[in-house]
Amino acid sequence: KAGVTQTPRYLIKTRGQQVTLSCSPISGHRSVSWYQQTPGQGLQFLFEYFSETQRNKGNFPGRFSGRQFSNSRSEMNVSTLELGDSALYLCASSPTTGFNYGYTFGSGTRLTVV
Amino acid sequence: AQRVTQPEKLLSVFKGAPVELKCNYSYSGSPELFWYVQYSRQRLQLLLRHISRESIKGFTADLNKGETSFHLKKPFAQEEDSAMYYCALSTKTGYSTLTFGKGTMLLVSP
């Protein structure tokens, strides 16, 4: 069965622009979470969506937002990009929420802000 | 707030040697602990969960609540074990949020 699919794989944006990243979870998985990975901070939780509702949010500014659609696909948006937003953004899906079965991660979207 | 500490950025061993990747956590409640692995040019993947008490690819990890540790062990390292290993913690608060350690790079030399 298909894994977690993230598009695009690579993005280069200019400071001040906005960006939208997409994630398609494993079929049947209803929980989608997003993580930011940087060399300095490591893997940091952004937010989790379950049944189109944001269940939890990490310690990131309001410029970071997301949503989930009825088919469980999710998007995250970063507005007014800053150089420090350059990172690998990982999406992960799980069958459900509230109990951690262990995520299945996508390959990530590498965002570079110049 | 919870925290996961992996004290070693890099662990280098020879093939056949025992391996122990250290993980310590701080959390006042009862956590769920995980080890994730990322091989070169591959995606992050779950290696094992403490609740399953399983052994995957010869690796085991025991949760020691007294020492708040969840060290990953393997008696005989193989070259294919070379990868980045992340310890992660989830709290039983109704959410699936993972708090990751900074990771340890394991290099197994022939």
Cα of A92 to nearest chain B Cα, Å: 10
pLDDT of residue A80: 97
Cα of B46 to nearest chain A Cα, Å: 7
Contact flag A100-B100 (C-beta cutoff 8 Å): no
pLDDT of residue B51: 76
pLDDT of residue B53: 72
Any CB–CB contact under 8 A between B3 and chain A?
no
pLDDT of residue B92: 65
Chain A contacts of B100, Cβ < 8 Å? 35, 42-44
For the stretch B29-63, pLDDT in tens is: 888 899 999 999 899 999 988 877 777 889 999 88
For the stretch A4-46, pLDDT in tens is: 999 999 999 999 999 999 999 999 999 999 999 999 899 999 9
pLDDT of residue B95: 63
For the stretch B60-100, pLDDT in tens is: 998 898 999 999 999 999 999 999 999 999 876 656 688 99
- A100, A103, A105, A107: which to substitute to probe chain B, counting the most B Cβ within 10 Å? A100
Question: Between A and B, how many residue pairs show a Cβ–Cβ distance under 8 A?
Answer: 58
Listed by number, the residues of chain A in 28-87 with a beta carbon closer than 8 Å to a beta carbon of chain B are: 31, 33, 35, 42-45, 48, 55-56, 58
- What does chain A look like in DSSP terms, one character per residue? ----EEE-SEEEE-TT--EEEEEEPPTT--EEEEEEEETTTEEEEEEEEETTEEEEE-S--TTEEEEE-TTS-EEEEE-S--GGG-EEEEEEEES-SSS----EE---EEEEE-
CA distance B22 to B68: 11
CA distance B25 to A84: 27
pLDDT of residue A36: 97
Identify the closest residue of chain B to A58 by CA–CA distance.
B97
pLDDT of residue A100: 63
pLDDT of residue A32: 94
- A43, A48, A109: which to substitute to probe chain B, counting the most B Cβ within 10 Å? A43
Per-residue pLDDT, averaged over A78-96, amounts to 94
State yes or no: pLDDT of A95 exceeds 70. Answer: yes
Enter the tokens of residue B66: 């007294």
Cα of B39 to nearest chain A Cα, Å: 12
